[in-house]
C-alpha cells in the first residue's frame, strides 16, 4: 500500500518462535528455527516418566501441541493453555478403551477446526504452561528441585511472564521425555 509520501507501508511480522520442552533435562527452549533464543528451567508433572495417559495420573503429555489461550488471572500467575489431548492422545485413549468413539471424534473434530478439544474426558485436560502462583522461598525451592505439577509445565512467575512475550495463539509446543 503506497502512502502519500511515496513510502510503502510494511506490516511488521512477529518472529515465529516455537517451544521445545525436555522433561528429562527439565528445560524449555524458545527457538526460532534451530536457534535457541532463550532457555528456562522447568518443573513438570509429579507422576513420573512417560506421557500422560489419563485424568489424575499427574504426568505431563508428550507430543506436539499448540497454545490455544491465555489466562492472566490464574492462581498460577499466568496460564497458557495447550490443546491437550491431541489426536495421538485421543487415539491411544480410544484404543485403550478410556474414551468412547464419540469422544474420540469430538476431540479430532475440535482439533481439526483449531478449537480446544473436550477437557472433560477420562484423558483429562487443563494442561498448560504456568507460573508458581504466590511465590515464597519454600515454593521456589520445591520448584527448583522437583517436578510438582499435576501434568503442566511450570516456570517462575517472572519467567512465565517473559515467555509470554515470545508466544501467541497457535505457537507450537513440542514436549519430549
State which fold the 43-171 domain adopts: L,D-transpeptidase catalytic domain-like (2.40.440)
9 pLDDT tier (thresholds 50, 70, 90): very low
CA distance 38 to 114: 27
Per-residue pLDDT at 14: 57
66-101, pLDDT tens digit by residue? 999 999 999 999 999 999 999 999 999 999 999 999
Indicate if the pLDDT at residue 6 is higher than 60: no
DSSP 30-41: EEETTEEEEEEE
What mean pLDDT value characterizes the chain?
A: 92
Can you give the pTM of this predicted structure?
0.89
Amino acid at each position: 500500500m503506497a502512502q502519500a509520501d511515496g513510502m510503502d507501508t510494511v506490516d511488521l511480522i512477529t518472529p515465529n518462535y516455537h517451544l521445545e520442552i525436555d522433561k528429562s533435562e527439565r528445560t524449555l527452549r524458545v527457538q526460532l528455527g534451530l536457534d535457541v533464543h532463550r532457555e528456562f528451567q522447568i518443573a513438570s508433572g509429579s507422576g513420573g516418566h512417560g506421557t500422560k495417559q489419563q485424568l489424575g495420573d499427574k504426568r505431563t503429555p508428550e507430543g506436539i501441541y499448540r497454545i490455544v489461550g491465555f489466562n492472566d488471572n490464574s492462581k498460577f500467575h499466568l496460564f497458557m493453555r495447550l490443546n491437550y489431548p491431541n489426536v495421538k492422545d485421543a487415539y491411544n485413549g480410544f484404543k485403550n478403551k478410556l474414551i468412547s468413539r464419540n469422544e474420540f471424534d469430538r476431540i479430532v473434530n475440535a482439533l481439526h477446526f483449531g478449537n480446544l478439544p473436550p477437557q472433560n474426558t477420562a484423558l483429562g485436560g487443563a494442561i498448560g504452561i504456568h507460573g508458581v502462583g504466590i511465590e515464597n522461598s519454600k515454593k521456589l525451592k520445591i520448584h527448583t528441585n522437583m517436578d510438582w505439577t499435576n501434568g503442566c509445565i511450570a516456570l517462575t512467575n517472572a519467567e512465565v511472564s517473559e515467555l509470554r512475550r515470545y508466544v501467541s495463539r497457535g505457537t507450537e509446543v513440542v514436549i519430549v521425555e
